[in-house]
Amino acid sequence: MNITLWIVTAVLALLFLAAGTMKIAQPKAKLAASGQGWAEDFSDGTVKGIGGLEVLAALGLVLPALLNIATVLVPLAAAGISVLMAGAAITHARRGEKTNVIVNAILGVLAAGIAIARFGPYGF
């Protein structure tokens, strides 16, 4: 089970690192033009803030466990991702983007599973 948790954790970390970096590096208008229309509903600072949270969450999923320092941050980061994905799902639902809501729900459930497992029987 520990190997499965590490695989899911690594995949989530890579996804959120890439998504967060994209939100930080690209202007809001370019994000909106590339298919992320939700960015039009938020200020540039908010979009960058969301990107920053995603990058921090990605780092929080793996670095504490790899360095064996403050390992409680791993399930906290996973719980934070679940909350972030709930907000994203609400935003996409309001915009009528059903496919994105499904993706957000799947990512949120995976992150919640990591949080539960790492807080519980498979903690560090």
Measured CA to CA in angstroms, residue 16 lies from 45, 100, 115 at distances of 18, 15, 16
Overall domain count for the chain = 1
- This prediction's pTM: 0.92
Q: Is residue 102 part of a domain?
A: yes
Q: What is the mean pLDDT of residues 5-21?
A: 98
Structural domain for 97, as ranges: 2-119
Is the distance from CB of 44 to CB of 24 less than 8 angstroms?
no
Q: How confident is the model at residue 124 (pLDDT cuts 50, 70, 90)?
A: confident
Q: Is residue 124 part of a domain?
A: no
**Which residue, 93, 26, 86, 16, is CA-closest to 56?**
16
- CA–CA dist 26, 46 (Å, integer): 13
Q: pLDDT tens across 27-72, in order?
A: 999 999 998 999 999 999 999 999 999 999 999 999 999 999 999 9
Q: Is residue 76 part of a domain?
A: yes
Helices (H) and strands (E) in the chain, counts: 5, 0
Is the distance from CB of 54 to CB of 17 less than 8 angstroms?
yes
